[in-house]
Amino acid sequence: MEKKSATRLDIARRAGTSVSVVSRALNNSGYVAKEKKERILKIAEELNYAPNPVAISLQKRRTRQILFYCRNVDNAFNMQLYKGMLDAAADRGYMVLFNGKTAFEDLRNTLVDGIIMQDQGLAAYYLRNYGRNYFLPVVSAAYGEVLGEEKDSERSAESRTFSRTMPSGRHSVPIVEVDTYRVMETALDYLEHCGHKKIAFGTPYPAENGNVRTAAFLSRMHERKVKDARNYILAVSRRDSRLAADSRLLSFQEEVAENPHVVNEDFFGKGRLAARIFAERKMDATAVVGFNDEFSLGLICGFQEMGLRVPEDISVMGIDGNDARKYVSPLLTTVSLFPQEQGAMCVRVLLDLIEGKKVRYVTHTGFRLLEGESVLPCASAAGIL
């Protein structure tokens, strides 16, 4: 048993034939005498033969593995994305591996045919710094990425298509995303429908940070003729001293941030803190839309810790459709982005790319309001402070 495992050559020798016949027999492809085939199969069995997948991959120049590269292992939303990927990939004979931490430089040594990046920021960074050297197809799921020039130019090119040739844009990657602007609209419409007039947007980033979700909020508020919209942005400063101290868990695990732009965000903790800031600033909103569900769960926790009732005193709404909602009462009302479907779509786009088909540059996936109990319906909308 200690010795190395059998190869097709070993089988061929015992069967008194050649490797190519053995290969055909094992893969049942091509001609091979029935009797001989049986003998080969039997010998393979006896030898506990198992093909070497690495050799097959080298020959076929295809591993049939793809990777979901995702830093936020903690976030259930990403795990839901991953779940969606698994099925979609299996349908086409691929495996999806997951990796949350390998340095970008080492990523190129992964034995995969393509990579799905957690979000656009990561994808752009990767491509800019490492991607040019070898074109391993990459697809990105979008999620709260920062809005910049690149983003602007991208928005105007939604119908651009890709093939396996180098993309035309500078650092562009096909992305699968949800239309954040319409999502935000859905959230705000719902709250207004429930009677809320003053609506805040809670975000874990500084107010000036131009992430799409904040931008979408401002844009929608603008449309609604709210002039002091910026006052309704409830931002958590990255350096708020209470951040570390506020952790609910004794932390025996030091957090390590390796890439400057990729932090393992504690959305929950920031949401929790945001609730305190809301009170300190005496914001007069009757409802808060959180940056994402994790953040919103933190908001609920924070409000409750201050003795406020959700939704009687303050309504909270999220964005994502994160299954972690189940843990918290009241059940969070949210706009679900159906991460599973988004993940599945990422896989389809990536596999199309790998297989040389043309793919759309931007693919939009669906969303839907999921009612919970965290928004006061038809509220008389009295300020609480």
- Among positions 70-109, residues that touch a second copy (CB under 8 A) are 73-74, 76, 79-80, 82-83, 86-87, 90, 95-102, 106, 108-109
Binder of a second copy out of 20, 30, 42, 54 (CB under 8 A): 54
Residue closer to DNA by CB (options 21, 289) is 21
Closer residue to DNA (CB): 36 or 64: 36
Instruction: Assess 7 for contact with DNA (CB under 7 A).
Output: yes
Map the footprint of a second copy across residues 240-269, applying CB under 8 A: 247-250, 252-253, 268-269
> From the list 1, 3, 48, 60, which residue makes contact with DNA (rule: CB under 7 A)?
60
Measured from the CB atom, the residue of 20 and 161 that comes closer to DNA is 20
User: What amino acid is encoded at 45 in this protein?
Assistant: E
Q: How far is the CB of 83 from DNA (least distance, A)?
A: 30
Window of 24-32, 109-117, 119-127, 269-277 that interacts with DNA by CB under 7 A: 24-32
Contacts of DNA in 27-56 (CB under 7 A): 27, 29-34, 36, 51-52, 55-56
Indicate whether 5 belongs to the interface with a second copy (CB under 8 A).
yes
Which residues, numbered 316-375, are part of the site for a second copy (CB under 8 A)? 323-329, 331, 336, 338, 340, 370
Q: Annotate the chain with three-state secondary structure.
A: CCCCCCCHHHHHHHHCCCHHHHHHHHCCCCCCCHHHHHHHHHHHHHCCCCCCHHHHHHHHCCCCEEEEECCCCCCHHHHHHHHHHHHHHHHCCCEEEEECCCCHHHHCCCCCCEEEECCHHHHHHHHHHCHHHCCCCEEEECCCCECCHHHHHHHCCCCCEECCCCCCCCCCCCEEECCHHHHHHHHHHHHHHCCCCCEEEEECCCCCCCEHHHHHHHHHHHHCCCCCHHHHEEECCCCCCHHHHCCCCCCCCCCCCCCCCCCCCCHHHHHHHHHHHHHHCCCCCCEEEECCHHHHHHHHHHHHHCCCCCCCCCEEEEEECCHHHHHCCCCCEEEECCHHHHHHHHHHHHHHHHCCCCEECEEECCCEEECCCCCCCCCCCCCCC
Closer by beta carbon to DNA, 18 or else 329: 18
- From the list a second copy, DNA, none, partner contacted by residue 338 (C-beta under 5 to 8 A by kind): a second copy
The count of chain residues that interact with DNA, using the rule CB under 7 A, is 29
Residue 12 CB, nearest approach to a second copy (Å): 18
CB of 215 to a second copy, least distance (A): 28
**161-162/359-360 β-pairing:** antiparallel
Q: Closest CB to DNA among 21 and 199?
A: 21
Rounded least distance, CB 192 to DNA, Å: 59
Q: How far is the CB of 185 from a second copy (least distance, A)?
A: 21
Query: Which token pair is 329?
Result: 């009462």
- Which is closer to a second copy, CB of 145 or CB of 293? 293
Q: Which does 175 bind (CB under 5 to 8 A by kind): a second copy, DNA, none?
A: none
Give the residue among 105, 110, 144, 98 at the shortest CA–CA distance from 125: 105
Interface with DNA by CB under 7 A: which residues? 4, 7-9, 16-21, 23-24, 26-27, 29-34, 36, 51-52, 55-56, 58-61
